[in-house]
Amino acid sequence: MERGLISVDRWSGGSQAYFLTHLHADHTQGLSSAWSRGPLFCSHLTSKLLPFKFPNFNLSLLRVLEVGSWHSLSLTSPSSGTKTAVQVMLIDAHHCPGSVMFLFRGEFGCLLYTGDFRWEASIEKAYTSKIILLNAIKGSKLEVLYLDNTYCHPSYAFPSRVDAAKQVVDIIISHPEHDIIIAIDNLGKEELLLYISRMLKIKIWVWPERLQTLHLLGYEDIFTTKTSFTRVRAVPRYSFTVDTLEGLNKVRPTIGIMPSGLPGILGHFGMNENLCTSLADSRSNGFKSSEIFTITSNGQKWNVRSVEKLHQYIYSVPYSDHASFSEIQEFVELVRPINMRGIVSSSSCYINPLYYFGHFRGVNQPSQKSWQKHKGVESMSAIQTESLCQISHCPNLARKRRRSEKIRILGHRFSRVSALRRVRQGVKIVENDCVD
DNA sequence: GCGATCAGAT
DNA sequence: CACATCTGATCGC
């Protein structure tokens, strides 16, 4: 294959310029403190956070670009050896601090790589991004949209982050004598914690490394590492389990809150399936186990998730840093790409955004999708799978637990679970076909 | 021995 | 399991 010109969230080499959308671990696989393959372009905030994640990173390779204006790069065409100009614009992705989309212009045409993003069009700062993006692509066709298809299915409907944050505060208020733990990652959900702090006028405990990140982000006086200062603690998601909550409740009454766009699925947190089912009808503290309510968004009505009580001590709140299905739809309709590709897949399952949004494309295409026109009779599958295993057509209903069985093929260890591993795809853009 | 990568768990 | 991250095992130099 021809050597690439630029790579986005891909670190395997072979390009002249490398672009990082944000600092979550699934976008930095292959990036390390010893990075030396070429210049790394990112937002200002990402450049501030990056040395904390990668100590001793060679800062002379960092190229900080501001959001909302075109930047020109002069690269060398891999095939002809002549200079070729590439322009890039960063658009705020509203996913986590520093996260951006990259809009490219060059001989290959106009390409947009969203990275992970949220698109709450009603929020003012998202509206600003919308205007910037519209002006940037005005008059030119968007050849390819590389899209965050994490929640690219109509069953993924959830409210704005502000509304979800209110739900979190309601839960905390209704448990005045409880300690509260909230599951978070190394980056992201800061605005949720800030909202809780403001509304309840309390500090939030975080672990020491997380406090350093928060200080880098400019949050002052809101977070603490002293447990005696507050009853609300944000803890790493990997430490948030049923066992943890049950252990904490032997010492003090404690509830856990999991902010996530994913519905509370059986088996999460090592939960017993029967226990969860038996709780499906239970109610306490005024919260139904799974409330659904309707909102209007993008000219359509959507039944969005609300708080779910997953366990005696665990609530799930639909606070998501990824776009919901209706937001993805609104985004695709806005930019009207000629072609598009999801950036998230597992090795055996990929939700093709063309299935749902093909009709929004900017030029006439052979009819591939069927969702809008003839629902239920599809000429194309929304989810492409390998023959390895069966998966339900609706991912939200695909709740059958797959066995983690290991079989041997030609002497190699092989695991079905690993075959289902989710992978985040970066992209390498080459001169001719724009797709690696 | 060390970093990179993989598999599994959280 | 389509959120992201950690840990331990294994690989490759």
Q: Please, where are the H alpha helices in A35-102?
A: 44-53
Q: Do A369 and A227 fall within a single domain?
A: no
Residue A1 lies in a domain: no
- Phi, psi of A353, deg, nearest 5: -65, -20
Distance A83 CA to C3 C1' (A): 41
Distance A78 CA to C11 C1' (A): 32
Residue A196 lies in a domain: yes
pLDDT recorded at residue A348: 52
Residue A56 lies in a domain: yes
Q: Do A428 and A413 fall within a single domain?
A: no
CATH number at A218 reads 3.40.50.12650
Q: What's the whole-number average pLDDT of chain A?
A: 80
The answer to whether strand B lies under 7 Å from the CB of residue A238 is yes
Q: Do A284 and A395 fall within a single domain?
A: no
Q: Residues 83-112 of chain A: which lie with beta carbon within 7 Å of strand C?
A: none
Q: Do A121 and A201 fall within a single domain?
A: no
Residue nearest the C1' of B6 (CA based): A418
- How far, in Å, CA of A217 to CA of A320, rounded? 20
Q: Please give the residue that has the higher pLDDT: either A27 or A363.
A: A27
Q: For residue A188, how many other CB atoms are within 10 A of its CB?
A: 18
Distance A404 CA to C6 C1' (A): 20
Checking each nucleotide's C1' against the CA of A26, the nearest proves to be C4
Torsion-angle region of residue A13: left (phi > 0), alpha (psi -120 to 50) or beta? left
Burial of A237 (0-12, 13-18, 19+ CB in 10 A): middle
Q: Residues 368-397 of chain A: which lie with beta carbon within 7 Å of strand B?
A: none
Q: Do A200 and A301 fall within a single domain?
A: yes
The answer to whether strand C lies under 7 Å from the CB of residue A402 is yes
Q: Please, where are the H alpha helices in A279-415?
A: 325-335, 353-357
At A294, the pLDDT band (50, 70, 90 cuts) reads confident
Element holding A275 (H helix, E strand): helix A273-278
For residue A163, the Cα-to-chain-centroid distance in whole angstroms is 18
Q: Does the pLDDT at position A403 exceed 70?
A: no
Q: Does the pLDDT at position A317 exceed 80?
A: yes
- How far, in Å, CA of A286 to CA of A297, rounded? 27
Q: Do A280 and A304 fall within a single domain?
A: yes
The answer to whether strand B lies under 7 Å from the CB of residue A347 is no
pLDDT digits (tens, 9 = 90+) for A129-151: 999 999 999 989 999 999 999 99
At A324, the pLDDT band (50, 70, 90 cuts) reads very high
Distance A395 CA to B2 C1' (A): 41
Q: Residues 111-150 of chain A: which lie with beta carbon within 7 Å of strand C?
A: 116, 149-150
Do A66 and A44 touch, CB atoms closer than 8 A?
yes
Q: Please, where are the H alpha helices in A54-160?
A: 124-137
At A421, the pLDDT band (50, 70, 90 cuts) reads low
Residue A101's identity, in one-letter code, is M
SS (H, E, C) A175-234: CCCCEEEEEECCCCCHHHHHHHHHHHCCCEECCHHHHHHHHHCCCCCCEECCHHHCCEEE
Chain C bases near protein CB atoms (7 A cut-off): 1-6
Q: Give the total number of structural domains in chain A.
A: 3
Domain coverage including residue A399: 382-419
The answer to whether strand B lies under 7 Å from the CB of residue A131 is no
Q: Does the pLDDT at position A286 exceed 70?
A: no
The answer to whether strand B lies under 7 Å from the CB of residue A239 is yes
